[in-house]
Amino acid sequence: MANATLSLQRFLGRDNLQQLAGPVLILLILSMMVLPLPAFMLDLFFTFNIAISVIVMLVAINVMKPLDFSVFPTVLLITTLLRLSLNVASTRIVLLEGHTGPGAAGQVIEAFGHFLVGGNYAVGIVVFAILVIINFVVITKGAGRVAEVAARFTLDAMPGKQMAIDADLNAGLIGEDEARKRRATIADEANFFGSMDGASKFVRGDAVAGILIMFINVIGGLFVGVLQHNLDLGAAAKTYTLLAIGDGLVAQIPALIISIAAGMVVTRVGDTQDISQQFLTQLFNNPRVLGLAAAIIGLLGLIPGMPNFVFLLLATVLGTLAWDMDRRARTVKPVPVAAAPVVATESQEASWADVAPLDVLGLEVGYRLIPLVDKAQDGELLRRIRGIRKKFAQEVGFLVSPVHIRDNLELKPNAYRILLKGVEIGQGEAFPGNLLAINPGRVAGQLPGTATKDPAFGLPAVWIDNALRDQAQAYGYTVVDASTVTATHLNHLILSNAAELLGRQETQALLDHLAKEIPKLVEDLVPKVLPLGVLQRVLQNLLAEDVHIRDMRTIIETLAESAVRSQDPETLTTQVRIALGRSIIQQLYPSGAEMQVMSLDPQLERVLLQAIAGAGEHASIEPGLAETLIRETSAAAQRQEELGLPSVLLVPGNLRLLLSRFLRRGIPQLKVLAHGEVPETKIIKVTSIIGGRV
């Protein structure tokens, strides 16, 4: 029993009751159409209908902006349904009990049928017709038109508002949560005015239904009274017509109030004051206007035959208001002399809020490139950038920071630049609507257009019209659009600077991701055996030489074994490279068991090994030898590229780090491998010997 009582208390809790209020109200409204109601219940529901309409109008007056009353379209539907249900219920009782007298349908209908129109059904018909015309032709039609235009304008303005939100987000003026909130507000505005456009049809339909219901009640009442209750025609006409008019008025007055509320909501402008404040401050806030109105009304009051007392009384009231407002304005006017704004400005001090963090990756575009990065216009470059980040994460092994995009009016209209931690690392130009024809080295002809260079790789290129695409491809050019040019350049720079993009935060995020799959390995390595900073340095060393770090299991296992003997990042990198040898070779030679590489002359190897033996990590190469080494290696690497082979130099393990650092500066595409990194299954074929004449 106690459990049942507790369950009932929980079921009847505040939240549950609120959730049940809506369904119960709808069921009650629908039940009125089917179940007969006594006169007292009709009075109660008619009174409730009037009360709810007044509440709705007061809420509409006091809202600051339309979205503060976002449930209003639903309220229109429910109140319209309530009025129609009451019409059905009252029609039933009028036709059943109308022959007993004017109070048959309750006191509310009787009051509206007698006291409001003086018991004269002709006057009642005229008053009812006027109310219906005001509601149907003036207020509802106007509110519906305003809602329709507002919905159209709101939809038309959505792309511009979305662009402004994206611009503020990219500029760092707002956060992601605020941007999401603003986008939701824009969508809610469009939905609200669209719903209001449709909901206003409910009220118009209600007005039409009110006219039809009244005539049906009159005709039906005459039929029932004369044929069924044997009333004479005059008595039946008076009784049933007054009841029908009272029924119509008691429904149309709340409908008129609701229509006025709808008009107030959709014509609302501004969101800092409610309608009452706006009405008073904007209409009765100018003493000069009130003074002129008082003078005009006073002059009209002096004309013989006019109601002089009324006109002169109103002129006196308006003149008094104008004089009082002018007097208060003169009294308050000297107050702004106080330099409060200046003091407030001077009191503002610099704070840490003025120090804005730099974006890790940034893309600035000229104004003609904005359509490429505009979400509202479905910017192609935005999708490509998302694809670049996803592909980078899949291939390289970690997720780079988002690219923050903003427009820069200081750039040329078609220019863009790419920033890494606030420093420019690349720039170029792109021409939306045109194509870039890139010369890969062997083309059959020249194309008309603007000569330039491919910003990513520096190849000769030309900007051409779209109509020349087929001709350019036939000549052997590689043809790409403006968004592809920018995206390719960005992708190239991200790959080239992968080591710098892997910061402490990215390293920790990578570990957190790995901890979901290999928690024990991660826990045993960091921070028990190896600090996070050393792990980051090892990963950066790998990325600096274009070694992908997708195989983090192997990297962590190798570091866990080697960190016991050494904490030096360079030594640990060497051990990891050996463990990753198979994937490194696979990355350079995707197919085939044979590796065609360059090698050092044995005599040169001995000289370099002696230099390392004497100086260790601080070994240096004699200038003359260094110049020859760079020259011959560069020539051999060029021959490799002409043969379509990767530029790979195979050296002893002790020399790999020294030569990689030294040669990579002058020959960026060169990859230096150690003998220990090559799997035993690979066949090595030496294509060039470097240093044979040293």
Q: Are residues 42 and 180 in the same domain?
A: yes
pLDDT band at 268 (very low <50, low <70, confident <90, very high): low
| DSSP conformation letters of 429-483 | E--TTSEEEE--S--SS---SEEEE-TTT--EEEEE-GGGHHHHHHHT-EEEEHH
What is the rounded radius of gyration, in angstroms, for the C-alpha atoms of the chain? Answer: 42
Res. 336 pLDDT band, cuts 50 70 90: very low
Are 687 and 627 found together in one domain? Answer: yes
Question: Is the pLDDT score of 344 beyond 50?
Answer: no
Which band of pLDDT confidence, cut at 50, 70 and 90, is reported for residue 340? very low
- Do 367 and 486 fall into the same domain? yes
- Residue 588 tokens read as 């350079």
Task: Name the residue with tokens 């696979």.
Answer: 586
Sheet holding 415-420, edge to edge: 403-407, 361-365, 415-420, 423-429
> Is the predicted pLDDT of residue 578 greater than 90, yes or no?
yes
Same domain membership, residue 569 and residue 465? no
* One domain for residues 119 and 236: yes
pLDDT at 487: 92
pLDDT at 406 over 60: yes
Q: pLDDT tens-digit profile of 13-26?
A: 555 566 666 677 77
Beta-sheet strand order (sheet of 478-481):
450-453, 460-464, 435-438, 478-481
**What is the Cα–Cα distance from 74 to 351, expressed in whole angstroms?**
48
- 400 or 81, which is more confident: 400
Taking 90 as the threshold, does the pLDDT of residue 287 lie above it? no
The arithmetic mean of pLDDT across residues 128-154, rounded, is 71
- Is residue 399 domain-shared with residue 472, that is, in the same domain? yes
pLDDT at residue 508 greater than cutoff 80: yes
Average pLDDT over residues 484-503: 93
Where residue 433 falls (left for φ over 0; alpha for ψ -120 to 50; beta otherwise) is: left
The candidate with the shortest Cα–Cα distance to 235, out of 360, 121, 358, is: 121
- Cβ atoms 446, 468 nearer than 8 A: no
User: 558, 579, 600: which is the final residue of a domain?
Assistant: 579
Three-state DSSP class for 269?
coil
- How many angstroms separate the CA atoms of 205 and 210, rounded? 9
Q: What per-residue confidence (pLDDT) applies to 388?
A: 92
pLDDT at 464 over 50: yes
Residues 487 and 524 in one domain: no
pLDDT at 529 over 80: yes
- Predicted local distance difference test score (pLDDT) of residue 416: 96
What size, in residues, is the chain? Answer: 694
Average pLDDT of the residues of the chain:
80
Residue 194: what pLDDT? 72
Q: Is residue 629 part of a domain?
A: yes
* Dist. CA 349–CA 351, nearest whole Å: 6
The fraction of the chain above a pLDDT of 70, given in percent, is 80
pLDDT digits (tens, 9 = 90+) for 59-117: 877 777 777 777 777 887 888 788 788 877 777 777 777 666 666 666 677 676 666 55
C-alpha torsion 644→646→651→656, nearest 10 = 160
* pTM as predicted: 0.52
Question: 12 lies in a domain?
Answer: no
Domain count, the chain: 5
Domain extent at residue 323 = 298-327
**549 and 570 belong to one structural domain:** yes
Torsion, Cα of 266, 269, 270, 271 (10° steps): -20
* Residue 392 in this model has a pLDDT that exceeds 70: yes
Confidence (pLDDT) at 169? 65
Considering all CA atoms of the chain, what is the largest pairwise distance in Å, rounded to the nearest integer? Answer: 135
Whether residue 10 lies inside any domain: the answer is: no
Phi, psi for residue 332 in degrees, rounded to 5 = -85, -20
**Is the CB of residue 238 less than 8 Å from the CB of residue 124?**
no
Tell me which of 29 and 630 has the higher pLDDT.
630
Q: Quick one: pLDDT band at residue 334, thresholds 50, 70, 90? A: very low
User: Do both 178 and 264 map to the same domain?
Assistant: yes
CATH number of the structural domain spanning residue 391 = 3.40.30.60
